[in-house]
Amino acid sequence: MESCYSANAWGRQFQSMGFEVKLIPAQHVKPFVKGNKNDHHDAVAICEASMRPGIHFVPVKTLEQQDLQSMHRIRQRLIRERTSLVNQIRGLLSEYGIVITRSYRSMKVQLPLIIEDIENQLTFLMRDMLNDLLEELHTSNQRVKTIEQKIETTAATHTEYKRMMDIPGVGLITASALIAQVGDAKHFKSARGFAAWLGLTPKHQASGNKIVNQGMSKWGNKYLRTMLIHGGRIVLTHCKQESTLQRFAKQVEQRRKTQSRSRHRPQNGQNHLGSHDKQATLQS
């Protein structure tokens, strides 16, 4: 089957009937659609794609994975709405000459003090509206905490949850997202295959003898990739004990800093890379 809208639900239904279900990513099916798009051409394209070598199939998500994924998407929407609310409050206050740091934590601490400050330029009407927005902000934050508690309760029943929580930089949200999106990691042949699926490998372009490795390809699951990158930053910040992980993290940090400096090194009064710097950057 093509991995598209409601494919997981149909996949579980067919599995209950004794069928072996394999989902094919939509981008692998589209090149085989001949002529106008219709059900017949789609079915032929799926059959042709399934017989091609090197096609990576997508496993059908279980109900547990589906629940976790749904909660993560709800949490994502709630955080996006909370951020939008914070930005609106900052924008409104800036028109009265009041500037707040762009942070939810700063907002929930400073906004009550601003409302009670009688020396600023806020009118009584604006203070009343800000009180409503503050209450809405508390409600939004409480909804985020509630959904996170549900995520933790659901993910804790999974056998791999505690093992992933032991990985430095991996917390509640990242571990549960890995369970929801990946499930059984044995579907990947190696850790490199998992990194490539996440889009954490260099973007490779080659034509004849010319081979160029650019930055991260950024393919795959953006939500999961973002959390893993933030987890890596936390390890760099808080990894204090001398260990293999710390040495590896410091090597990565030093390599990335060196590469960043070489990319911005001015040459002949201009901010560009010469041929030697480009070659050094590609090699690093």
Q: Which residues contact 61 (CB under 8 A, 6 or more apart)?
A: 8, 69, 180, 183
3-state secondary structure of 212: strand
Would you say 2 and 46 are in contact if contact means Cβ atoms under 8 Å apart?
A: yes
Q: Which residues contact 170 (CB under 8 A, 6 or more apart)?
A: 164, 178, 231
pLDDT of residue 92: 93
Residue 152 has pLDDT above 80, yes or no: yes
Residue 273 has pLDDT above 60, yes or no: no
pLDDT of residue 268: 44
Over range 162-176, report the average pLDDT: 86
The helix/strand count (H/E) of the chain reads as 12, 4
pLDDT of residue 70: 93
Mean pLDDT of the chain: 82
pLDDT of residue 239: 67
What string of H, E and C letters represents the secondary structure of 29-93?
Answer: HHHHCCCCCCHHHHHHHHHHHHCCCCCCCECCCCHHHHHHHHHHHHHHHHHHHHHHHHHHHHHHH
Residue 62 has pLDDT above 80, yes or no: yes
Residue 56 has pLDDT above 90, yes or no: no
Sketch the domain layout of the chain as residue ranges.
2-50, 63-155, 246-284
pLDDT of residue 275: 38
pLDDT of residue 163: 85
Residue 271 has pLDDT above 70, yes or no: no
- Higher pLDDT pick, 3 / 271: 3
Over range 142-165, report the average pLDDT: 89
3-state secondary structure of 100: coil
pLDDT of residue 272: 38
pLDDT of residue 202: 82
Q: ∠ CA(83), CA(85), CA(91), 5° rounding?
A: 105
pLDDT tens for residues 198-253? 888 888 888 888 888 887 777 778 888 888 888 888 887 776 666 777 777 778 77
Task: Give percent above pLDDT 70 in the chain.
Answer: 89
Q: Which of 135-149, 184-198, 251-265 has the lowest mean pLDDT?
A: 251-265
pLDDT of residue 114: 92
Rounded (10°) angle between helices 244-263 and 222-238:
110
pLDDT tens for residues 190-209? 888 888 888 888 888 888 88
The distance between the two most distant Cα atoms of the chain, rounded to a whole number of Å, is 74
